[in-house]
Structure 1
């Protein structure tokens, strides 16, 4: 029998269960302390991601043969595919430009409906530039109707859309742009984080947007993006230091 090495997510899940069991044992005075405290788990390795620029997002949306709003919505909200596919008309607050994420649908031996991955509801903003096309998707629909659907009005399945619509569009873009990365629909979520960070979003804002349970998870997943953000912090500090030095030389009171 061949034994495959357990991946880091599997180890994290198993360790989490063990920590809870040991914690209960401590509470029942069966053991003096939790042996899981202080244990360091292996770090997750992250493969290179394809982040799109705003121009590349526009090019990709223009290259699909239908439903370009799917691309723009995923990029500018950071929702997971299953969260997007489960959205109903009643989940949108068009005046506040917010979408309420409370459920998800996945393809696993058929369609499985449940809560988002973090099991927590969240409210995610969307840009005003998307308002018109989102409103058009809801015309003459009931409150319980799905907003994003396939051509027959059913659930928009990632597997079908990726192969029939998304992949050919990516290939078209790569012919015209040598720097265009090979990506999947899930990578649009990564692009959402990249563009949010470049626009000045802090880690807590990104955490709430993408629905991570903790900010530490966001930092771990997107450490490469926040490293770039730190460069901007250093540049701002340099500017403040120079301003303070100028004030000392000129005798101008500081702000």
Structure 2
């Protein structure tokens, strides 16, 4: 990733491009359940500074955490999300760009895989997102600080997210904003989503990548398949 950042201003090509990365171990993943997600969102939405003032991003913390945990957006995709790409009637979000920090400035670029995608919004999140998009220009960022600035990952993680994790009693899990993607994947799989749905939701380049990371979460359906095949065989033989 560091070498990729150097292209093309400092290096003409990335010499490490194409080198296979080790598969992440299951221990690196953190999977929150629904109650833990809600506790984290509640804690983030009620944060106060040491002077008792409302935290800089308190107004967007709750919907942002819920969106990350239930759609699997990368943080920089959510931070770059604009009002015009949120369709609450159809319950869809169009991911077209993501923020990248270059020399201290945020610039919009294509998502990590280079492809845009459409992500479903759970119905219960519509009311959470509505105040952030209603009556605003389509070009406005959905998530901003109370001063109207972009939300930067490092600042938000240190000043808001980390404090919310502790307040919700979730410290010690190694939870980070990015690991909410793992929660989104696990909750989707538990709800019955197949590998192609999870791949599309998370924006993985291939279904193989999805299986490499979350294959252990999919239920073992070998007996179910064997029983269905056996029932079909017996019906044919009995005819």
Q: The TM-score by the shorter chain falls in which range?
A: 0.7 to 0.9
Q: Give the whole-Å Cα distance in 1 for the aligned partners of 2:69 and 2:63.
A: 10
Aligned: 1:181 with 2:173: yes
Alpha-carbon shift at residue 131 of structure 1 (Å): 0.6
Residue of structure 2 equivalent to 1:148: 143
Aligned ranges 1:61-76 → 2 under 5 Å: 61-64=41-44, 65=47, 66=58, 67-76=61-70
Q: Which has the higher contact order (CA 8 A, sep 6+)?
A: 2
| Residue 207 (1) aligns with residue 199 (2) | yes
Q: 1:96 to 1:42 in 2, by over 3 A?
A: closer
| 8 Å contact from structure 1 (residues 170, 182) kept in 2 | no
Q: Once the 2 structures are TM-superposed, how far is the Cα of residue 156 of structure 1 from its aligned partner?
A: 1.0
User: Could you say what secondary structure the match of 2:168 adopts?
Assistant: helix
Which residue number in structure 2 is paired with residue 44 of structure 1?
23
What's the Cα RMSD here?
2.7
Deviation at 1:57, TM superposition (A): 0.3
Separation of aligned partners in 2, 1:230 and 1:62 = 31
Unaligned runs of 5+ in 2: 1-13, 48-57
How do 1:71-90 residues align onto structure 2 when only pairs under 5 Å count? Answer: 71-90=65-84
CA distance in structure 1 between the partners assigned to 2:110 and 2:21 by the alignment: 28
Determine the structure 1 residue equivalent to 2:11: none
Separation (CA, whole Å) in 2 of partners of 1:156 and 1:228: 32
Contact 2:186 2:217 in 1 (8 A): no
Residue-by-residue CA offset, 1:176-198 (whole Å, 9 max, x unaligned): x68x7220111111111111111
TM-score (norm 2): 0.78
Q: After TM superposition, give the deviation of residue 228 of structure 1 in Å.
A: 3.5
CA distance in 1: counterparts of 2:68 and 2:128, whole angstroms:
14
Structure 1: state its 5+ residue gaps. Answer: 1-9, 16-40
Shift of 1:234: 3.0
Q: Does 1:234 align with 2:222?
A: yes
* TM-score, normalised relative to structure 1: 0.73
Aligned length: 209
Written as runs of structure 1 = structure 2, the 5 A alignment for 1:125-204 is 125-174=120-169, 181-204=173-196
User: Matches of 1:100 and 1:13 in 2, distance apart?
Assistant: 28
Is the Cα contact below 8 Å between 1:150 and 1:157 reproduced in 2? no
Aligned structure 1 segments of 4 or more residues deviating by more than 6 angstroms: none
What's the CA shift string for 1:196-238, capped at 9, x where partnerless?
A: 1111111111111111111112222x2xx3223242x135347
Q: How far apart in 2 are the matches of 1:205 and 1:70?
A: 22
Match in the other structure for 1:92 = 86
Q: Given that residues 122 and 208 in structure 1 are in contact (C-alpha distance below 8 angstroms), is that contact kept between their aligned partners in structure 2?
A: yes
Distance 1:77 1:244, change over 3 A: same
Largest Rg, 1 or 2:
1
